[in-house]
Structure 1
Amino acid sequence: MRESAANVIIIPAKPEAAAQQTVKRQLRVAAYCRVSTDDEEQLTSYEAQQNYYTDKIMTNRDWTMAGIFADEGITGTSARKRPEFLRMIRMCKQKKIDIVLTKSISRFARNTVDCLNYIRALRALGIAVIFEKENINTLEADSEILITMLGAFAQSESESISANVRWGKRQAMREGKANIQYDRLYAYKKGDDGNPRIIPEQAEVVRSIYNQYLTGASLRMIKERLESEQILNVAGNPQWTITAIRGILTNEKYCGDVLLQKTYISDCISRKVIRNTGQLPMYLLQNHHDSIVERKTFDAVQTEMARRNAGKSPSKKKAPTGLTSYASKYALSERLVCGECGTLYRRCTWSKGGKKRVVWRCVSRLDYGTKYCHNSPTLDEEPLQRTILAAINSVMSKKDTLIRQITSAMEMEIAPVPGESMSLADIEHRLGKLNGQTRKLVAEAARTEDSSAYTSQLRGIVNEAAELKEKRAFIQERRQNDALAAQRIEAATVALGQATACISQWDETIIRQLVDTVKVHSAEKITVFLRGGIQVEQDMI
């Protein structure tokens, strides 16, 4: 037990400390202002906002200037694209600002999520954001509900403006108005009439790229040729990329057309650019300007590119996905086929005793030995080339007959689809009638209490319309395939017409144009299939 009472010591107050607490320091006040476009009227408003806030802060005895943060000509839908706004937030986190002034919520952010996140972060730091137009201080208790509503209105306004801009652009597309980016367009510049004008020296480069590709060159081979000849790209540099070359080969502007809405913006908040693969309509302006390559040449390149992209790799070991990368320097790399297992042959160089021997071998034999292909022969290159030339020359002496056979094959390939009695025009006319009947039945059903009587009729119309749409798609696909087949056979016919009666030298370009496939039956016999369906059996020389 304690024997004495607790001793209480009184510590007197310090009047000077209380006086120090009553001295108020000036609040560090920053202002944020933004304009979303670069036009003169908006820039005047931008300067006016800066002057206004400078005057407002400096004339208040309780405030001191912490900075004017202003983003000029920048959208308010994303904070990431506003460097001054982000700098202001960093200074707030460093406790260098006490109050942020801004004109309105729409000036602060047009994205509701961004707006609330930043306001909450600043409020957690004890920093107030004052919106003058709405008369809201974010440190007050009921401010968040108002900010949420007004922020949503600001975002809705942005979405409405974005929708109006999109509508205007698409309306311009429908009217055939094209907006072309010339800074990235090779071989064209903006003419006095506002349309693309050809740059002659660059146009020759474009034509050579198309011709090389059609004669079998890969994109990498074209790149190496351009760089070896020190040809400058669109930026004026001698280094080319495969992407740039592919862009030239797939850009419809080089055949005089303009395809609009190839990409679109997902929404006005994220502003992500998405490739249009059918989500929205596209608008093709044909014969919009002078072309550099003929349309049939452009179409032939697209067909050849699709054929290469769809190719299967002969070697599963080297291409586990099964897709091949087209970089064939030799025409036979994609034409010489094993008669036993159907796999392509590959060119190999053997070295023995300082001597080199070039041969062609079945890829299956190279990768797996005799597991899948047992008897495919190894062929020396020179005798193989002489044999193929002999097969070609055997039919070149009858060139006129050969051309007639190709024409006949073309007529068979693009013959009408058997059993089809309706044309595309008939199908469209019938679909229009069915749409009218549907609207009529729906209107009648709406006027009656019991609409079950119309259900079976509507179901019949829907089923018939679905069948017609399938038939329309089939006919359209068949027509497209027929057009591509006609282009291929026409190209082969032209090549045969220009070729001499006897080809004495091996030429990779001619082989690519004339030969479709070479099948190896044995070490003594091959079959050469020419374009157009002509085939020649030939003994090895």
Structure 2
Amino acid sequence: MSGRITTVSKPPKLERKKRVAAYARVSSGKDAMLHSLSAQVSHYSDLIQRNSDWLYAGVYADEAKTGTKDSRADFQRLIADCHAGKIDMVITKSISRFARNTVTLLQTVRDFKAWEVDIFFEEQNIHTMSADGELMLTILASYAQEESRSASENQKWRIKRNFEEGMPWNGAMLGYRLKDGRYEIVPKEAALVRRIYNEYLAGYGYQAVAKRLTEEGVPSRFGGKWNQSVVSKILSNYTYTGNLLLQKTFRENHITKKTVINHGELPKYHAEDAHDAIISIETFHAVQTEKARRAAQFNKKPAPRTTYPFTSLLVCDICGKNYRRKTTKTGIVWVCGTFNTLGKSVCASKQIPEATLQQVTAEVLGVKAFTREQLHSRVQSIRVCNGNILVFCFKDGSEVTRTWKDRSRAESWTDEMKEAARRKTLERSKHNA
């Protein structure tokens, strides 16, 4: 049987629009107008969306960071999205905005080329996918890196000269304000510094001092939370004696800009009676002696840390701290670290009985009995929210929400508590008889 064959022409292949993103970076206090973060984001958003051949893939922006790759959150997100094939081209202002380090720049460019992602540097008018793009980048990036090194050396020279003249560098200290190169006392804050020193010498620890200040609503230098680290730094600050010990730290180099402790690599400068003292030198030394005594008393070799199935997995949705395991009169529970240390006034979270937690987890995982192996192989984290809500975040990106029930009063009673109640009832009966 024969039939007529009809030839059907294929429709023309539609050209996919190029997915274009932009990267912007601002160094705090240095850039203005178009260089400001908001102006850059607006500029690139308009630029990409005005081009009919481009598809807007977003603007990635970092603020007040150094030029190193690992320290920039949005830059890392941009790399991940390019690797995942979500972007075809990235626009950025200049080589120095993208990376100051030649090695980092070329490594990133080569990674992007392997993923077939083009980078366009506006200021230098360079496309990395072009034939001579990498050669030009190598030359220009070297100039950018040398400019960064020169600026760093000039800054170091100015700092060294100030140190030699006994001028302080840090103006963010509680109790003082830096004015015309000299510390001036802020009376109300100075009284707070003296209180912290006196309470420590009276027997309070770092955490106890921090808790008292928090409960009283005493503001810190910049309105942040009081904690043992903040109190410890205040109790270790030699500047409160009216003297200065300068260049205790220094920047490792102009690329990493990592601050390291000066163990003798550079000279230190000591300036006596540089400003009015808040703490006497005798009080300061008394605190340092007491700190050493307490450290020697408690600085024993720590026992190996015991980990439990939910260790580092439970995250408080109120304050962001991890939950920790705690043994109470009613049994084992998991409680927010902030709540456990600073109380309900700071974090109004709830403790969760471990048995309840295991039961809910088993139900979510679809297993009869809870096991550590199942939990760790599938769950990335568990957010603990208000209203007895648990949000299970799985490693595959999915989420499951469950509500747990509070224990009844009878369930909260341990065998010891029941026995104590039974004895009390018997004693009351004998007394009444």
Report the TM-score range of the alignment, normalised by the length of the smaller protein.
0.5 to 0.7
Q: 1:85 aligns with which of 41, 65, 75?
A: 75
The reply to whether residue 109 of structure 1 matches residue 99 of structure 2 is yes
Which amino acid is the alignment partner of residue 241 of structure 2? C
Distance in 2, matches of 1:226 and 1:45, equals 43
The reply to whether residue 35 of structure 1 matches residue 21 of structure 2 is no
Distance in 2, matches of 1:127 and 1:271, equals 29
Distance in 2, matches of 1:157 and 1:228, equals 44
Distance in 2, matches of 1:69 and 1:245, equals 37
1:171 counterpart residue number: 161
Q: 1:196 aligns with which of 166, 181, 185?
A: 185
Which amino acid is the alignment partner of residue 257 of structure 1? N
Q: 2:12 aligns with which of 3, 6, 20?
A: 20
State the shift of 1:211 in Å.
5.7
Which amino acid is the alignment partner of residue 167 of structure 1? W
Which amino acid is the alignment partner of residue 195 of structure 1? E
Distance in 2, matches of 1:240 and 1:175, equals 34
1:475 counterpart residue number: none
Q: 1:231 to 1:237 in 2, by over 3 A?
A: farther
State the shift of 1:82 in Å.
2.6
- Whether the 8 Å contact between 1:29 and 1:63 is mirrored in structure 2 is yes
Distance in 1, matches of 2:80 and 2:210, equals 51
Distance in 2, matches of 1:128 and 1:161, equals 30
Q: 1:223 aligns with which of 188, 192, 205?
A: 205
Distance in 1, matches of 2:210 and 2:285, equals 28
Q: 1:64 to 1:141 in 2, by over 3 A?
A: same
Deviations 1:264-322 (A, max 9, x none): 121232222211121112222322232234335545665x47986998x9xxxx9789x
- Whether the 8 Å contact between 2:206 and 2:232 is mirrored in structure 1 is no
State the shift of 1:123 in Å.
0.8
The reply to whether residue 252 of structure 1 matches residue 238 of structure 2 is yes
1:136 counterpart residue number: 126
Choose 1 or 2 for highest CA Rg: 1
State the shift of 1:36 in Å.
1.9
- Whether the 8 Å contact between 2:184 and 2:276 is mirrored in structure 1 is no
Which amino acid is the alignment partner of residue 238 of structure 2? E
The reply to whether residue 208 of structure 1 matches residue 194 of structure 2 is no
- Whether the 8 Å contact between 2:33 and 2:39 is mirrored in structure 1 is no
Deviations 1:152-183 (A, max 9, x none): 22222222222222222222222332233545
Distance in 1, matches of 2:30 and 2:206, equals 46
TM-score normalised by structure 2 residue count:
0.55
Deviations 1:170-213 (A, max 9, x none): 22222332233545x3xx2438885133446435435535866x
Which amino acid is the alignment partner of residue 275 of structure 1? I
1:145 counterpart residue number: 135
Distance in 2, matches of 1:191 and 1:109, equals 33
Q: 1:218-297 to 2 correspondence within 5 Å?
A: 221-223=203-205, 230=212, 235=220, 241=228, 247-297=233-283
- Whether the 8 Å contact between 1:257 and 1:284 is mirrored in structure 2 is yes
Distance in 1, matches of 2:35 and 2:157, equals 29
Distance in 1, matches of 2:27 and 2:206, equals 45
Which amino acid is the alignment partner of residue 161 of structure 1? A
Distance in 1, matches of 2:287 and 2:71, equals 40
- Whether the 8 Å contact between 1:223 and 1:240 is mirrored in structure 2 is no
Q: Mean alpha-carbon deviation: is it higher for 49-58 or for 252-261?
A: 49-58
Q: 1:150-165 to 2 correspondence within 5 Å?
A: 150-165=140-155
State the shift of 1:39 in Å.
5.3
Distance in 2, matches of 1:68 and 1:13, equals 50
Q: 1:119 to 1:206 in 2, by over 3 A?
A: same
Q: 1:265 to 1:309 in 2, by over 3 A?
A: farther
Deviations 1:233-289 (A, max 9, x none): 874999874x66654554222321122221112123222221112111222232223
Deviations 1:19-71 (A, max 9, x none): 534x4222122222323234572556555544544444344343232223333
Which amino acid is the alignment partner of residue 285 of structure 1? A
Distance in 2, matches of 1:238 and 1:65, equals 40
Deviations 1:209-232 (A, max 9, x none): 5866xxxxxxxx442896599466
Distance in 1, matches of 2:16 and 2:240, equals 69
SS in 2 for 1:30: strand
Distance in 2, matches of 1:46 and 1:229, equals 38
- Whether the 8 Å contact between 2:82 and 2:117 is mirrored in structure 1 is yes
- Percent identity, please: 35
- Whether the 8 Å contact between 1:33 and 1:46 is mirrored in structure 2 is yes
Higher helix proportion (structure 1 or 2): 1
The reply to whether residue 69 of structure 1 matches residue 60 of structure 2 is yes
The reply to whether residue 98 of structure 1 matches residue 80 of structure 2 is no
Distance in 2, matches of 1:249 and 1:268, equals 31
Distance in 1, matches of 2:265 and 2:33, equals 35
SS in 1 for 2:186: strand
Gaps of 5+ in 1: 1-11, 213-220, 322-541
Deviations 1:480-538 (A, max 9, x none): xxxxxxxxxxxxxxxxxxxxxxxxxxxxxxxxxxxxxxxxxxxxxxxxxxxxxxxxxxx
Q: 1:57 aligns with which of 43, 48, 51?
A: 48
Distance in 2, matches of 1:63 and 1:224, equals 57
Distance in 2, matches of 1:146 and 1:162, equals 25
Q: 1:222 to 1:73 in 2, by over 3 A?
A: closer
Q: Mean alpha-carbon deviation: is it higher for 59-68 or for 243-252?
A: 243-252
Q: Looking at both structures, which has the greater relative contact order when contacts are Cα pairs under 8 Å and sequence separation is at least 6?
A: 1
Which amino acid is the alignment partner of residue 190 of structure 1? R
Aligned residue pair count:
289
- Whether the 8 Å contact between 1:28 and 1:64 is mirrored in structure 2 is yes
- Whether the 8 Å contact between 1:257 and 1:288 is mirrored in structure 2 is yes
Which amino acid is the alignment partner of residue 145 of structure 2? Q
- Whether the 8 Å contact between 2:166 and 2:244 is mirrored in structure 1 is no
Which amino acid is the alignment partner of residue 185 of structure 2? P
- Whether the 8 Å contact between 1:207 and 1:292 is mirrored in structure 2 is no
SS in 2 for 1:281: coil
Q: 1:526-537 to 2 correspondence within 5 Å?
A: none
Distance in 2, matches of 1:229 and 1:27, equals 56
1:471 counterpart residue number: none
